[in-house]
Structure 1
Amino acid sequence: MALEITPCVTDEEYDAWRRVRIAVVPYERTQSVAELREGDTPERLLVLAREDGVVVGHGMANRADSAASGSVIPRVLPEHRRRGVGTALLHRLVEHVETLGFPMLRAGADDEESLAFARRNGFEEVNREVEQTFRIDGPVEPTPRPDGIEVVTAQDRPGLWEAAYERFGLEALAGFAVDTPLDVTPESWVRSWLGDPMFLALHDGEVVGCAGLGLDPDQPARAENGLTAVRSDWRGRGLAVHLKLVTLAWAADHGITEVYTWTQDGNGPMRSLNTRLGYATTRVGIQLARPTRRG
């Protein structure tokens, strides 16, 4: 069979790309065609793999959130694996990252088959993430709001999230328990890190904490926790617990029965907080890296 790997251009191709992701990663939210379009940048490449015109896989290459790194994500539909499609996709994605000039490649795996494929291609484990899931079977009652705190949504206060990048966002991003510091641009902060809803804790008009949700139109009863963070001078006052419960209460009120979150294995405080609230560990994800030819 003739294998063809081409960039996504039309809405039909973007829709085919998302259908592959839904099939391979059914337990995570997949962006809509409109959201995929909004995320277009010169650095990002989305491709489809076809054999004799039939879509058999897809891929994405892009700037990674980790400093000086590009990410590569090849996926192949289960019935089309072990025929070289994943390897061909990986080579195409790596070529794109190398044209961007990044010295490191990043990838992820959360099953043994994907992990073995990554290792065969020179990737080594650098971080682990733990998925924790909260099942909602009734109303959720938030703890009392700490004194001096006002909680609003970013959607009700346009511009507040953008303005929080320097004072709040950079500190929150620096706190990730990862092997390489994150390097998130102001544009990516707005495009990729804003939940909907995103609850913001304000003190004297400044953002000192946040917690949000990523809703899933394909599975309306499920949602993903967005960034949950509290500025260092406000930690230890119950603000993170309050914000987390506010998001779960909102989810319960809107018919969501399952909320999941990914937390770095080394972020003990957040994992412990989730466990205390009733989240159960449901999956482990492995983050991998290898140098590019520039590395």
Structure 2
Amino acid sequence: MDAVVSLRIEPVSDDATLRDWQHVHNEIIPTDPLSLDDIRERARRNRLTVAYSGELLVGCSTVRPPSDETTAATVIVRVLPEHRRRGFGTAMYESELAEARDLAATIETIILESNQDGLRFAEKHGFVEFERYVLPGATIAYLTLRLADR
């Protein structure tokens, strides 16, 4: 757990952090790779962050505010596989959850069905599945989970 003490979470604010966010996203979601332009567009609507342990990139996150389609805020935390089970995901999640709670009472997350580590993490933190969908041309479903009242 000592590694978490050195966790630094930074907003995506320049080309270097855009590329780092892209690297993590595209490694964890290979079925839907994003270009830098895609990420720039997302950064206009959402809070995007990258997380580092020292200078080492460990993950990225998204906080999506409520929209016309949903009254929930969405929190998505991605940790590179080689950095999992060290507390990074929990630290990132707690930080992003605090941001999301300022936006909405209902919190959701979205996980690629094949990301079993991410699904276990979400369930451990109180999320329950309420929707699945497959993007056009894809074969792996995305799971939308909602944070259950505790």
TM norm structure 2: 0.85
Contact 1:104-1:292 within 8 A present in 2 as well: no
Report matched runs for 1:205-244 at 5 Å: 225=136
The DSSP-based 3-state class of the residue aligned with 1:57 is strand
How many angstroms apart in 2 are the aligned matches of 1:125 and 1:104? 14
The answer to whether structure 1 residue 289 and structure 2 residue 149 are counterparts is no
1:52 Cα shift? 1.1
1:60 maps to 62
1:103 Cα shift? 1.3
Question: Is the alpha carbon distance of 1:18 and 1:68 closer, same or farther for their aligned partners in structure 2, counting shifts above 3 Å?
Answer: same
1:126 maps to 130
Question: Is the alpha carbon distance of 1:285 and 1:38 closer, same or farther for their aligned partners in structure 2, counting shifts above 3 Å?
Answer: closer
Matched residue type, 2:23: R
Deviations 1:174-214 (A, max 9, x none): xxxxxxxxxxxxxxxxxxxxxxxxxxxxxxxxxxxxxxxxx
1:99 maps to 102
Question: Is the alpha carbon distance of 1:292 and 1:39 closer, same or farther for their aligned partners in structure 2, counting shifts above 3 Å?
Answer: farther
Contact 2:128-2:148 within 8 A present in 1 as well: no
1:152 maps to none
2:91 maps to 88
The structure with more radius of gyration: 1
The answer to whether structure 1 residue 115 and structure 2 residue 119 are counterparts is yes
How many angstroms apart in 1 are the aligned matches of 2:142 and 2:37? 27
1:69 maps to 72
Residue ranges of structure 2 left out of the alignment (5+ in a row): none
Matched residue type, 1:54: L
Higher relative contact order (CA 8 A, sep 6+): 1
Aligned residues: 143
Report % sequence identity. 29
Contact 2:127-2:145 within 8 A present in 1 as well: yes
1:51 maps to 53
Matched residue type, 2:78: R
Residue ranges of structure 1 left out of the alignment (5+ in a row): 132-224, 226-259, 262-281
How many angstroms apart in 1 are the aligned matches of 2:30 and 2:66? 23
1:114 Cα shift? 1.4
Contact 1:63-1:70 within 8 A present in 2 as well: yes
Contact 1:103-1:292 within 8 A present in 2 as well: no
Runs (4 or more) in structure 1 with deviation over 6 Å come to: none
